[in-house]
């Protein structure tokens, strides 16, 4: 990924990312499958690393709900 023009010039011009595609293989009959395309700087060389990235994203909903509750 290229650095935005508004970023400080002392930052790298590019950032290497891994792209993870996640798709639910057996959704309920009346539902669309969950489908995510995730960009991460975390390594995804092993199944465990890949699952850690997916699990981190799955936690997003809980984190968003927490911050909704604590915002004034």
Residue 41 lies in a domain: yes
Residue 47 lies in a domain: yes
Say how far residue 2 (Cα) sits from the centre of its chain: 18
**Is a pLDDT exceeding 90 seen at residue 72?**
no
pLDDT tens for each residue of 11-52? 889 999 999 999 999 999 999 999 999 999 999 999 999 999
Say how far residue 19 (Cα) sits from the centre of its chain: 9
Pick the most confident of 3-7, 8-12, 22-26. Answer: 22-26
Residue 51 lies in a domain: yes
Residue 5 lies in a domain: no
Q: Which residues pair with 38 in a beta bridge?
A: 20
Largest CA-CA distance found in the chain, in angstroms, rounded:
51
Closest CA to 40 of 31, 49, 32, 48: 49
Task: Quote the number of domains for the chain.
Answer: 1
CB neighbours (10 Å) of residue 53?
19
Predicted structure pTM score: 0.74
């Amino acid at each position: 990924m290229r650095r935005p023009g508004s970023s400080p010039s002392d930052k790298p011009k590019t950032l290497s990312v891994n792209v993870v595609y996640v798709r639910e293989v057996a959704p309920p009959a009346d539902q669309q499958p969950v489908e995510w395309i995730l960009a991460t700087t975390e390594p995804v060389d092993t199944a465990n690393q890949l699952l850690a990235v997916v699990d981190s994203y799955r936690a997003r909903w809980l984190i968003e709900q927490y911050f909704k509750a604590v915002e004034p």
